[in-house]
Amino acid sequence: MHTRLYKESLSLHTDLYQITMAYGYWKSGKAEQEAIFHLYFRKHPFQGGFTVACGLEDAIDYLQHFSFTEEDLSYLSSLSGNDGKPLFETAFLDFLRNSRFRCDVMAVPEGSVVFPNEPLLRIQGPLWQCQILETPLLNIMNFQTLIATKAARIRLAAQQDPVLEFGLRRAQGIDGGFSASRAAYIGGCDGTSNVLAGKLLGIPVKGTHAHSWVMSFDSEEEAFEAYAQAMPNNCILLVDTYNTLEGVKKAIRVGQQLRARGYELAGIRLDSGDLAYLSIEARKLLDEAGFHNTKIVASNDLDEHIVESLKQQGARIDIWGIGTKLVTAFDQPALGGVYKIAALKSLQNGEWEYKIKLSEQSIKVSVPGKLQVRRFYDSSRGLYVGDMIYNELNPPEGNSFTIVDPQDPIRRKRLSAEAFVHKELLVPVFEKGQLIYPLPGLEDIRQHRQEELSKLHSSIKRFVNPHLYPAGLEKGLYRLREDLIEQLRPQ
């Protein structure tokens, strides 16, 4: 993100209160106190049963370039408080000038399936640095994780059909469009209309033409003929400007002209109307004319629910163009990921002190500790069977564990390291500010996402009332959390 789209420093890409807190830590002598923060979400988006982690590469890019330029510091020095005096001392700005990223970072690899309360990122290091990174990391991870999850759902609905991301014109600005194209590709789309994403990320680019092309000519057939002359090796004709089925017939006539020149009509696109009916009728017309290999592309505000419905209706659609409802996550515009402190090392004795945020809403109560996630896998069935969130500062012993759902303590599951294969989800990314994680390629991330989803039971992937995957706190961690709640609640 940083080096591909922007030339200036992005260290001020944060909320003011992150910098004022960093200043407060510095003034209080706590800036270098070691802290642990976790980035996670509380509920799956889209009322679904899984989420696809995405955005790590851009987060890494941001962290690698984390520093304050002279222009950044000049701007901060211009800010004033209510009394008209500078908001920040010159010595603090000097402190920022000489600072470099020094945190340890653990992360879930992109394309992994993840569940509520599981850290996508764990940041450990100087308190002020952990704090000031909250906003940019949430900004990057929340959006891309949301879009990758939406794309994965659309991919499931489309089954084996190609899915193209066509949303740039409706995306939320330049970065929103670029990031959405990347996340959608990771989530399962096969290509994009976004040429910049094609150039910078290597995503296959696809496209047809707009209604304006047809309307700029005296007749629809003349427009089709001109397009076929201009793009004989990439001819997909938009047939619904005036009358869809008549448009299909004209496309067939132009397709016959293309054949006479040694080319084939690649496809037609439907962008309005009853897509099930029109695709069935269009397929009949194409097949009767001998255009069995001409693809039918459909667009028009599609999402996973509409795609699934059209499939059930027997629609003869070969390629799905998904725009607005994918790149804007139309039915849920934000993931709602959060970033919470979970432990702080005492300045007096060097011992870790657990931290927990309480709330009147149980779902907003945070989880203390230095968290890791252990995923258990039934190799005989080829399925994931449960995730255990545990505290590395006091890890569980033995080979048999109980996990507890923090929102419903009655929901518990026994997981055995002897019965199941297991792995730790969070892997090292930065060590004392130095990148140690080998960045996978985009195709590798896509393959990982595909493998991850194949290991989830189909009931977890359904769109309506999905089965709840067992993901919970290790029993000892759950008890620690309950003890801290009891200590902090007024009696």
What's the pLDDT band for 6 if we cut at 50, 70, 90?
A: confident
Q: What's 338's DSSP letter?
A: E
What is the dotted CATH code of the domain comprising 2-147+333-488?
3.20.140.10
pLDDT of residue 343: 98
**Cα gap 437→414, rounded to integer Å:** 33
101-134 confidence digits (pLDDT tens): 999 999 999 999 999 999 999 999 999 999 999 9
pLDDT at 3 over 90: no
List the domain boundaries for the chain: 2-147+333-488
- The residue whose two tokens read 């679904």 is 48
pLDDT of residue 4: 67
DSSP structure string for 243-309: -HHHHHHHHHHHHHHHHHTT----EEEE-SS-HHHHHHHHHHHHHHTT-TT-EEEE-SS--HHHHHH
Average pLDDT, the chain: 96
What's the pLDDT band for 5 if we cut at 50, 70, 90?
A: confident
As a whole number, mean pLDDT of residues 158-184 equals: 96
DSSP structure string for 97-160: HT-----EEEEPPTT-EE-TT--SEEEEEEHHHHHHTHHHHHHHHHHHHHHHHHHHHHHHHHTT
184-215 confidence digits (pLDDT tens): 999 999 999 999 999 999 999 999 999 999 99
What's the pLDDT band for 7 if we cut at 50, 70, 90?
A: low
pLDDT of residue 489: 83
Between residues 489 and 448, which one has the greater pLDDT? 448
What's the pLDDT band for 421 if we cut at 50, 70, 90?
A: very high
pLDDT at 298 over 60: yes
pLDDT at 1 over 90: no
Nearest Cα residue to 176 out of 303, 326, 306? 326
User: Which structure tokens are listed for 244?
Assistant: 């869809």
Nearest Cα residue to 371 out of 402, 341, 397, 345? 341
pLDDT of residue 9: 79
Q: Are strands 163-165 and 104-107 parallel, antiparallel or unpaired?
A: unpaired
> Is residue 54 within 8 Å of residue 145, measured between CB atoms?
yes
pLDDT of residue 146: 98
Let me know the angle formed at the C-alpha of 282 by 280 and 285, rounded to the nearest 5 degrees.
Answer: 115
212-258 confidence digits (pLDDT tens): 999 999 999 999 999 999 999 999 999 999 999 999 999 999 999 99
**Cα gap 370→356, rounded to integer Å:** 12
Number of H helices, E strands in the chain: 18, 21
